[in-house]
Structure 1
């Protein structure tokens, strides 16, 4: 339960960081470019926060290189969601990423836990 709550708290910080960067980049870039750049930068921060606080594990290059896989589904869902909200629903680009990101959270937790923790440690904590 602690991991889920910490993952949620890290997610809130990560989302705030992402959205802040997105709004900054939106001033100079098209919305999809702003989304992608903010997503990548916030994902790096998310890796270190999750390693330290959620999973209490040492960050390694292997985990760092695998961590983006945890966000592939998140990235695809949020990118598709942003596109649908902005281009198909014409709802505007300012809040689209926040709305689109909610659907991928549970999947991201499960996949990130598999990347960050060895199999025996995952099972003993579950």
Structure 2
């Protein structure tokens, strides 16, 4: 099972780093710039995705980052952003959870999906 591989745990470590970066950006945009929580979520997500590409390329999958992979990499996050955005809405608007906690819970739900998709894209040749 993929959760017991070293590669998966490296992905999780990168995920923690990426989530920390995302969360700091989210709080900055939400609290300091007074953006709507959803705008803060999406912009923070996109910015942190670039860092995730390089960390996963070099550390997790030990592959050379290429322009082609960089262009394809956001596809790995289509599922991630759909799951996390829907979860944000459910947690904040339906369940009335804090806008400060919801991003962390939402991000955790998407981890297994993102691992599988990013592994396919980042380990392909070319």
Common topology (TM > 0.5): yes
Shift of 1:42: 0.5
**Cross-structure match for 2:12:** 8
Shift of 1:107: 0.9
Please list the CA deviations of residues 32-85 of structure 1 after superposition, one character each: whole Å capped at 9, or x if unmatched.
000001000000000000001001111111000000110111100100011111
**Cross-structure match for 2:77:** 71
**Cross-structure match for 2:51:** 45
**Superposition TM-score, scaled by structure 2 size:** 0.91
Q: Counterpart of 1:22 in 2: which secondary structure? A: helix
**Cross-structure match for 2:22:** 18
Shift of 1:89: 1.2
**Cross-structure match for 2:102:** 96
Structure 1 residues without counterparts, runs of 5 or longer: 120-126
Q: Does 1:61 align with 2:63?
A: no
